[in-house]
Structure 1
C-alpha cells in the first residue's frame, strides 16, 4: 500500500514545506499562558476584572473549542512531501529546534502557574490579594493541557535514536509523572498495537471511562515488566538508576519535591489535578487512535504485521500542526523513527470524521461516540463485526445486533 499521491504545485526541485513556519504554533499552548498574563493585567487596568476569570481557563478553551473550529474552517491537509525531499527534511534541524523550544516554555508556564496559585498578593497584576479557588482550578486545568500536549512532544522525541532527544523526552514527561510512557509506548504499544493484549488499544463498545483505568494501570504494569525483563536478561536487579522507568519517575519526584519546597504544601492538590488531567489527555488520544481495530491472526497463530488499516487517522491541518502530525498515525506505526515533518497521509487508512481535538470531546460522551464511531468500525470490516476488537463484556450484544450482517458478509 502506498501513501497518498499528491502532485506538487511546483517542480520537485522547487518544492517547499508550506507548513514550515506553521509548526511553531505547537508552542502556542504553553505560550498562551504567558499571553494570558498580559491580557489579565490589561483588563484589570481598565476595570474589566470580571472578564479575567475566563482567561485562566485558556487551556480547555483553546483545545476543545478554538482548535476544532479552526479545523472545520481550514479542513484537511493531505499534502505529502515528495520522496526526493524526505532525507533533506529529515536532516533539517529547524524542525528539531521547534520541539526543543516547547520544553522550556512548558516549565516556565508550570512554575508561573504554581506561583500564581500560591501567591497571596498579586497587586502587580491588578488583583486585591490572590486568585480565587475557581481561578486556581482553571489555571491548574490549563497547565494540565500544557503537560498533556507535552507528552506528545515527548512521544516524538522518545522515538529517536539520539540520547539527547531521549533524555529530553523523559524531562518533558516529568510534569505529568508519566515517565513510564517512554518505555511502554516504544517497546510495548508499538509491538502489541491493535490487539486485545495492548492496554492502549481501545475496544469496540468500550467507553473512554472504562478504557481509562485499564490503560493507565495496564501501561504502568507493562512498562515495569519490560524493564524488569531487560535487567533479568543482563543478570542484574531492576532496582537501578539505569532502569528507564525509575530514572524517569525520579525526575518527577525531583520536580514535584522542588515545587512543594518552593511554593508550599498549598500547591499539592493542584499538582495532583494537573497531573491526572495531563496524562488523561494522552489516554483519550490513545482511545480514539485504534478504537475497535484489530490485527488478524495468521495461520501460524501470530498477529499480522501492523498496517495502515490498524490506526484511525485524521488529516485536519490545524490539529496536525499543534500535534506534530500525530494524526498521521498509520505512517507513524509503519515507520516509528520517522520525524513528524515527513509523516505521510495514507490512502486506504480508516479516517475519523474530524480532527483529534473534536473527537476527544466526543469520546467523553459514550453514547455520542458509539453513534458516530461504531458504524465506521463496522463499515471498515465490510459488515463483519467478528473481525473487530470487541470489548469482551459487550461481545454478545454486538454479535446479537450485527451478527446477521456479519454472517452475510463472512
Structure 2
C-alpha cells in the first residue's frame, strides 16, 4: 500500500508505503513447510542421502528455534509505525485479512497430510522402505505442532474482531490444538485481568516457565468455563448446552480428532496428542514472556488501574513480527484489542525484551538463564521497587529478602 500522509505542521506531505505489505504472505511458510519437507525427502532419497532425510521432518522446530531467531539477529528491528491518519484506511484494506484467512486451509491440509504420513505402511514413492520411523514421526508431530501453535496466534488475531465470519474462523483454527477455550478466556478473561495475580496467563516474578505452564493451562481452562457458566446463568441456562462456547469448542476438537482417527487409524492418536500439546505449549511460552513480573497497581477504590503500555513486554524484531502478525507489539494490542495487526504500533514507553519472541522462547525453557536476563529488567522497569512487581507467592519471602531493601534499580544493561 502506497499512500500520502500529512507530515508535521508546516511540513510537506510525506509518501508512506507499507514495506511489509507482501511480506505478510511469509506467514504461510509454517503451514506449508511439511509439503516442502516432503519434497526435500523425496529429492534427498533420489540423490542417495537416505540417512540424512529423516532429520528433514523436524523442519518446524528448526524454523522457530534456529532460522527465525537467526534472521531476527541478521535483519534487526522493524522500527516503522503506520501514520495515525492512515490507520482507518489500512484497517479497511481487505488484503491483510486474506493473509490470515489463507493460513487455515494450509493448516488443515498439513494436518491431513501428516496423518497420511504417520499411518502409511508403504512410502516407497518417497524412497522410504515401509513407513516412517519413530524419530521421523515424532519430528513430524512437532512440526505439525508448530503449525498448530502459530494457528492459535492466527486465531488470536481473528478472534478479537467484530466480524462473525472471522470469529468463526478463529474457533476453527483452535480445533487442531484442542484449545478452543482460549477464544473465551483470552478475550473475556486475560484482557480484563492481565498483569494481575488473578490472571493465569500472566507470569509472576520468580516463577519458572515449568511452574507457569501447568498453572496457566489448568487455570485458563477453569476460567473459561467459569466465564461461560456465568454468562449462561444470566440467561437462565445450564452450562451443559451447545450454547456453551467452551463445550462446543471442545466438541469440535473431539469431532476433528475422531474423524482423523476413523480415516487413518488409531495409530495416529499419539502423534495427534503430541502436536496438540506442543502447539498450545508454544502459545503458553509466549504468554509467559509477554507479561513476566509486570503488575497493575490497585487504585483507592480497590480496582486495578487501567491496562497501559507499561504492562506488556514488547519486541519489534521484523522477522518474528511477520510470522506472528505483529504479536510482539503487544502493548498496543492490549490498549486496542480490536485493532488489526497491520496497524499495531511499537511504543517507546513499553518495556522491551532484549530479543525477538522466537529467541526468548528458548531462553524461557532454562530458568537460570531467564532469570539472569529478565529479573534485573523487571526491577529496572519499576525503579528498583520490588513492591510494584507481580511476585510468585511461594517465593515472596525469599525475593523480598533479596530485593526488598534495594534502594536503586540495576540498569537494564546490567546482569
TM exceeds 0.5?
Answer: yes
The CA deviation at 1:251 is: 1.2
The CA deviation at 1:349 is: 0.4
Unpaired runs of 5+ in structure 1?
1-6
Q: Hey, what's the Cα distance between the residues in 2 that align with 1:49 and 1:351? A: 45
Q: Hey, what's the Cα distance between the residues in 1 that align with 2:407 and 2:364? A: 26
**2:104 is the counterpart of 1:103:** yes
Counterparts in 2 of 1:11 and 1:218: CA distance versus 1, 3 Å: farther
Structure 1 match to 2:148: 147
Structure 2 match to 1:4: none
Q: Hey, what's the Cα distance between the residues in 2 that align with 1:11 and 1:277? A: 51
Structure 1 match to 2:27: 26
CA offsets 1:107-155 (integer angstroms, 9 cap, x no match): 0100101110110000111111111011000000110000001000000
Structure 2 match to 1:56: 57
Q: Hey, what's the Cα distance between the residues in 1 that align with 2:113 and 2:83? A: 43
Q: Hey, what's the Cα distance between the residues in 2 that align with 1:143 and 1:408? A: 43
CA offsets 1:317-369 (integer angstroms, 9 cap, x no match): 00000000000000000000000000001111000000000000000000000
Structure 1 match to 2:413: none
Alignment of 1:57-206 (within 5 A): 57-206=58-207
Q: Hey, what's the Cα distance between the residues in 1 that align with 2:304 and 2:405? A: 26
TM-score normalised per structure 1: 0.96
**2:218 is the counterpart of 1:244:** no
The CA deviation at 1:13 is: 5.8
The CA deviation at 1:14 is: 2.8
Structure 2 match to 1:333: 334
Unpaired runs of 5+ in structure 2?
1-6, 411-415
Deviates most, 40-49 or 146-155: 40-49
1:15 alignment partner, SS class: strand
Deviates most, 220-229 or 242-251: 242-251
How many residues align? The count is 403
Q: Hey, what's the Cα distance between the residues in 2 that align with 1:146 and 1:124? A: 25
The CA deviation at 1:32 is: 1.1
The CA deviation at 1:396 is: 1.1
Is the Cα contact below 8 Å between 1:327 and 1:356 reproduced in 2? yes
The CA deviation at 1:254 is: 0.9
Structure 1 match to 2:224: 223
Higher helix share: 1
Deviates most, 89-98 or 242-251: 242-251
Alignment of 1:394-405 (within 5 A): 394-405=395-406
The CA deviation at 1:158 is: 0.3
Q: Hey, what's the Cα distance between the residues in 2 that align with 1:277 and 1:90? A: 32
Q: Hey, what's the Cα distance between the residues in 2 that align with 1:186 and 1:406? A: 38
Counterparts in 2 of 1:151 and 1:342: CA distance versus 1, 3 Å: same
Q: Hey, what's the Cα distance between the residues in 2 that align with 1:321 and 1:126? A: 35
The CA deviation at 1:312 is: 0.2
Structure 2 match to 1:376: 377
Deviates most, 13-22 or 59-68: 13-22
CA offsets 1:386-407 (integer angstroms, 9 cap, x no match): 1100001111111111112159
Counterparts in 2 of 1:251 and 1:13: CA distance versus 1, 3 Å: farther
Structure 2 match to 1:343: 344
The CA deviation at 1:11 is: 6.8
Counterparts in 2 of 1:114 and 1:88: CA distance versus 1, 3 Å: same
Structure 2 match to 1:319: 320
CA offsets 1:38-66 (integer angstroms, 9 cap, x no match): 11111111111112111100000000000
**2:260 is the counterpart of 1:259:** yes
Q: Hey, what's the Cα distance between the residues in 1 that align with 2:48 and 2:374? A: 47
The CA deviation at 1:12 is: 5.4
Is the Cα contact below 8 Å between 1:64 and 1:361 reproduced in 2? yes
Q: Hey, what's the Cα distance between the residues in 1 that align with 2:47 and 2:206? A: 52
Q: Hey, what's the Cα distance between the residues in 1 that align with 2:305 and 2:385? A: 18
2:355 alignment partner, SS class: coil
Q: Hey, what's the Cα distance between the residues in 2 that align with 1:195 and 1:105? A: 37
Q: Hey, what's the Cα distance between the residues in 1 that align with 2:281 and 2:138? A: 16
Is the Cα contact below 8 Å between 2:200 and 2:216 reproduced in 1? yes
1:405 alignment partner, SS class: coil
Q: Hey, what's the Cα distance between the residues in 2 that align with 1:131 and 1:312? A: 41
**Runs (4+) of structure 1 moved beyond 2 Å?**
10-14, 406-409
Please report the RMSD computed on the Cα atoms of aligned residues, expressed in angstroms: 1.6
